Structure formats: C-alpha cells, structure tokens
C-alpha cells in the first residue's frame, strides 16, 4: 500500500459553492481526491435519498492533477452512495469529507444537515467521515481560517484512527484565525429550531409560506458545541447513527403489557 490516501468529497451546497473548493484544495494536500456533489443547493436535506427518480451522474471537471469532479441530480446522501458504489467501486476511500458548509450545523441542525447526512452516509458503512461547516452563510464567505483547521483535523484523522462507525461534526467559528482559540471535543447542545412560517399571498390570491426560524438553545454547558462556538473554539463532535434512547428503554416497558 504505497498509494496516497483516497478522499471522497461531497457537500449539500452544490457544485458551485465556494466552500467546496476550499475543502478540495486542502484535501489535495493529503491525497487523491474525488468529488461527487449535487448539481445545485440541497441545504437541509438531511439523510434524504432518491428512490422514485433516476439518478444522473456527470463528470463536469477534471483538474490538471487528475482530480475528478462529478455532479448529480440527487441528494448529498445519493452523491456519497454514487461515489462509493459507482465511481470508487474498486477502491475504498480512506476518508469521506463533506463541506465546507456555508453555515452552522451545530446543535439540532445536525438532524437536518445535508452536509452531515452525507458524512454519516460514510460512517454508517464504517468509512471514517468528517463534515465541515463554517458559521457563515454568505456565498462569498472567507474560508481561509477554516482551512487551517480543516488541514489540521484531516491530517490527524488520517494519521490516527477515529472510532468505528463515527462521523465528526466539525463547526468552525466565523472569526479571523488569530481569534480562534483551538479545538474542543463537544457534545450536541439539545436545542431545537423554533420555526416561523411566514405567510405571503401570491399575485393570484393564493397563500403560501416560507419556512424560517431560529435555533432555541438553553443547553449551554461547557461541554456543548454551542458553548465552544460562542467562545471561538472549533467544535468537533463525534456522531453515530444509533438513534435509540437507551436510557429510556426501561421507562416504556409498560407498553409491553
């Protein structure tokens, strides 16, 4: 095995996102990179997959160093499946990296995030996986400080082992590099999205709604992602796909009677 590491990259912001290139540029320093991303924005697509529509896959760019970029009409999770089962069917990637997302995926956002959905598509099959997010939704966000931490974390994850069946949810503060204090391993703050459905009327008299809202979080202990980000630390949270509330199994035994 003298091969350089193979890194499969996806995202949920689509093939034109600036954050994608920011991730690809760092990943190339470590190995061979293959990109498979949606052909447009798929924010908040979670683990959604496409069963009733045929999936298309198009090689849309090849760099001079041979890096191939594919895009698909599918969801982020579909892209990872296409990457693993079609494009890389003869070689298991050493890492699946997603992002860099334009915007936070901390707290309850991990549930809705396509960036983390795509990363977990890897970890559920026991590929090491990392989803990267910068706390800046702007299309022209500055990823230069984020890249420093992406480099550090990819390097360490490739050099060491992370636990089996685990993805890392990495959120990076929107701050100049010198203000970022380092990395904290965190747990998910148990907040939720407090939605607002903004009602409008179309030119023909029909009502419609825009989904909007804000993260409501009262879980601000020092070990949470939210605390870390508010204090300008990079938050790294290990996530798994076991949704069982093990602590509650005994409490609902009355349903067996």
Query: Where in 3-62 is the site for a second copy (CB under 8 A)?
Result: 41, 43-52, 54-57
Strand partners, 210: 198
The whole-angstrom separation of Cα 199 and Cα 217 is: 25
In this chain, which of 101, 106, 147, 237 binds a second copy, going by CB under 8 A?
Answer: 237
Query: Is residue 229 a contact point for a second copy (CB under 8 A)?
Result: no
Q: Please report how close the Cβ of residue 60 comes to a second copy at its closest, in angstroms.
A: 14
Residues numbered 136 to 155 that lie near a second copy (CB under 8 A) are: 153
**Cα dihedral 174, 70, 112, 126 sign:** negative
Residue with tokens 């396509």: 114
In this chain, which of 94, 188, 226, 227 binds a second copy, going by CB under 8 A?
Answer: 188
Q: Please report how close the Cβ of residue 239 comes to a second copy at its closest, in angstroms.
A: 4
What is the DSSP code (8-state) at residue 171? E
Given the complex with a second copy, which of 135 and 217 has the nearer CB atom?
217
Nearest Cα neighbor of 215 from 113, 139, 138, 144 is 113
Q: Please report how close the Cβ of residue 64 comes to a second copy at its closest, in angstroms.
A: 26
The whole-angstrom separation of Cα 149 and Cα 248 is: 37
In this chain, which of 28, 165, 215, 232 binds a second copy, going by CB under 8 A?
Answer: 165
Query: Is residue 238 a contact point for a second copy (CB under 8 A)?
Result: yes
Given the complex with a second copy, which of 2 and 254 has the nearer CB atom?
254
The whole-angstrom separation of Cα 53 and Cα 59 is: 20
| Residue 20: exposure state from Cβ atoms within 10 A (0-12, 13-18, ≥19) | buried
Size of the site for a second copy (CB under 8 A): 81
Query: Is residue 221 a contact point for a second copy (CB under 8 A)?
Result: no
The whole-angstrom separation of Cα 162 and Cα 237 is: 12
């Amino acid at each position: 095995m003298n091969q350089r590491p193979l890194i499969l990259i996806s995202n949920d912001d689509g093939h034109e996102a600036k954050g994608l290139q920011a991730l690809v540029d760092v990943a190339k320093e470590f190995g061979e990179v293959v990109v498979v991303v949606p052909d447009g924005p798929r924010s908040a697509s979670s683990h959604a997959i496409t069963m009733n529509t045929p999936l298309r896959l198009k090689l849309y760019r090849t760099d001079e160093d041979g890096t191939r970029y594919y895009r698909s009409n599918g969801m982020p999770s579909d892209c990872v499946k296409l990457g693993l089962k079609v494009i890389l069917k003869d070689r298991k990637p050493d890492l699946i990296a997603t992002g860099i997302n334009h915007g936070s995926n901390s707290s309850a956002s991990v549930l809705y995030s396509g960036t983390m959905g795509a990363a977990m598509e890897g970890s559920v099959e026991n590929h090491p996986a990392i989803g990267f997010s910068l706390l800046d939704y702007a299309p022209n966000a500055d990823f230069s400080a984020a890249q420093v931490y992406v480099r550090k974390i990819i390097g360490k994850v490739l050099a060491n082992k992370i636990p089996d069946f685990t993805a890392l949810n990495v959120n990076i503060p929107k701050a100049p590099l010198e203000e970022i204090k380092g990395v904290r391993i965190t747990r998910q703050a148990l907040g939720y999205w407090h939605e607002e459905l903004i009602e409008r009327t179309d030119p023909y008299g029909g009502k419609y709604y825009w989904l909007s809202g804000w993260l409501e979080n009262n879980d601000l202990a020092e070990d949470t992602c939210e605390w870390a980000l508010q204090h300008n630390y990079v938050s790294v949270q290990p996530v798994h796909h076991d949704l069982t509330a093990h602590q509650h199994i005994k409490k609902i035994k009355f349903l067996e009677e």
